[in-house]
Amino acid sequence: MTEDSDRHAKKMAKKKAARDKIMATKTGEKGLVIVHTGKGKGKSTAAFGMIFRCIAHDMPCAVVQFIKGGMSTGERDLILSTFADRCRFHTMGEGFTWETQDRERDIEMAQAAWEKAKELIRDPDFRMVLLDEINIAIRYGYIDAAEVVAFLAAEKPEMTHVVLTGRNAAEEVIEAADLVTEMELVKHPFRSGIKAQIGVEF
Amino acid sequence: MTEDSDRHAKKMAKKKAARDKIMATKTGEKGLVIVHTGKGKGKSTAAFGMIFRCIAHDMPCAVVQFIKGGMSTGERDLILSTFADRCRFHTMGEGFTWETQDRERDIEMAQAAWEKAKELIRDPDFRMVLLDEINIAIRYGYIDAAEVVAFLAAEKPEMTHVVLTGRNAAEEVIEAADLVTEMELVKHPFRSGIKAQIGVEF
């Protein structure tokens, strides 16, 4: 072993010892309230990644799409065609709210999605329930943040993970969550005239 | 229509017009260099979400795992068992580097993974190639950032998307990328003694 690699081995051994010590204290298990927010990409994509992880582990899960982008249909089709036995899928919205221009209908849609979400979360068979883009529905005032937080505290089964995505997550929701990630936009190709592309955005 | 919903409709119509105008200028299509970095969760998960999107659209794709976590095997198993026809999967590492304490072997592993990555990227049949955790291998000096950037500039087929994940992405890599997202850790349950859980972390 060279001196350099010896130093490296010592450094890594120290890191490993520190990490093992920390990990030994992490013994709890519980259903988490997980929030993906921020202006960057990957909020829904990472949430769907967790849904695919659940599918991989044969953990029953469910998705409620609060706002249909009209584009992110890849995952939806794959789930419906291949994994309908393991994942329930509900698309409740009818396009982004700025494409409908009808506040009453948007509220009705969002409320219907929230009722469906509550029903799925109450069912302890589901190990993960993804509420996709619910943060936007809350932000627009279509669903009450305090009601969402109160419901999760009172009725979410202990072992169920609930994932809430969408930019501008409400302060109350972040407060109530166990795991919050903010996706920050560092650089985006839209700025140089590149359109949304298959496989990347949808 | 109430006055409130009338105001809402006008506001939304204006938003839609503005958005449509912006989107009309986005007409380009090209293979992107995409980076997911930052200390937060979701870097690999969102990247795997894009891989599942490609699978959903029947776009051939490939994954090279530079550092095997030993845990995030859910997606790997699902891809190998169900989608091996659409996604090539290579796990080159043998556990996180602080678990091996052997710098020579780590470098050898990382270089072998990089050779495999180059081979896959050069093949224009693959529409997306995910280099999972390559940023860590670059950070440790196992792979040269300048070489990665030069290779992508010179040899990446125009329509191929290449995704590089891992915290501490090198400045040169961020500079060369088209789309960069930083996942920021806002709140993490490890802090309150919760361990890594199935379906969430792996």
Q: For the segment A42-61, what is each residue's pLDDT rounded down to a tens digit?
A: 899 899 989 999 998 999 99
Beta bridge partners of A161: A128
B131-180 pLDDT, tens digit per residue, is 999 999 999 999 999 999 999 999 999 999 999 999 999 999 999 999 99
In this prediction, residues B175-199 reach a mean pLDDT of 81
Asked whether the beta carbons of residue A197 and residue B55 sit closer than 8 angstroms, the reply is: no
A30, A35, A190 member nearest B194 (Cβ) = A30
What average pLDDT does the segment A166-172 reach?
94
Residues B86-112, mean pLDDT to the nearest whole number:
79
ipTM: 0.71
The pLDDT tens digits of the residues spanning B25-65 come to 666 788 999 999 999 888 998 999 899 999 989 999 999 99
pLDDT of residue B72: 61
Looking at chain A, the whole-number percentage of residues with pLDDT higher than 70 is 86
- DSSP line for B35-72: EEESSSS-HHHHHHHHHHHHHHTT--EEEEESS--SS-
Chain B residues with CB-CB distance to A188 below 8 A: 179
Residue B65, sorted as left (phi over 0), alpha (psi -120 to 50) or beta, turns out to be beta
Is the CB of residue B46 less than 8 Å from the CB of residue B130?
Answer: no
Q: Check B128 against A193: CB less than 8 A apart.
A: no
Question: What is the per-residue pLDDT for B95?
Answer: 57
Supply the pLDDT for residue A26: 64
**pLDDT given at position A10:** 80
pLDDT of residue A136: 92
β-strand pairing of B179-187 with A179-187? antiparallel
Q: What pLDDT shows up at residue B70?
A: 41
Give the SS3 label for residue A131.
strand
Question: Could you state, in order of their start, the residue ranges of all structural domains in chain A?
Answer: 31-192
For B6-20, what is the mean pLDDT? 78
DSSP code for A67: S
Quick check: B190 pLDDT over 80? no
* Residue from B117, B108, B103 nearest B163 by CA: B117
Question: Residue A12: is its pLDDT beyond 50?
Answer: yes
Q: Name the residue among A98, A186, A202 with its Cβ closest to that of B12.
A: A98
Is B187–A180 a contact, with Cβ atoms under 8 angstroms apart?
yes
**Chain A residues near residue B28 by CB distance under 8 angstroms:** 192-195
Does residue A121 carry a pLDDT above 90?
yes
Q: Write out the CATH class of domain A31-192.
A: alpha beta
pLDDT of A63 reads 94
Range of A178-192, B10-24, B157-171 with top mean pLDDT: B157-171
Instruction: Identify the weakest region by mean pLDDT among A102-116, B1-15, B76-90, B178-192.
Output: B1-15
Q: What is the CATH number of domain B29-192?
A: 3.40.50.300
Minimum CA–CA partner of A71 in chain B: B53
Distance of CA A4 to the CA centre of its chain: 43
Residue A73 has pLDDT above 80, yes or no: no
Count Cα neighbours of B171 within 13 Å in the Cβ-side half-sphere.
0
Q: List the single residue in A12, A44, A184 with the smallest CB-CB distance to B181.
A: A184
Q: Which of A33-37, A74-78, B83-87, B106-110 has the lowest mean pLDDT?
A: A74-78
Query: Residue B92: its pLDDT value, please?
Result: 75
Evaluate if residue A99 carries a pLDDT over 80.
no
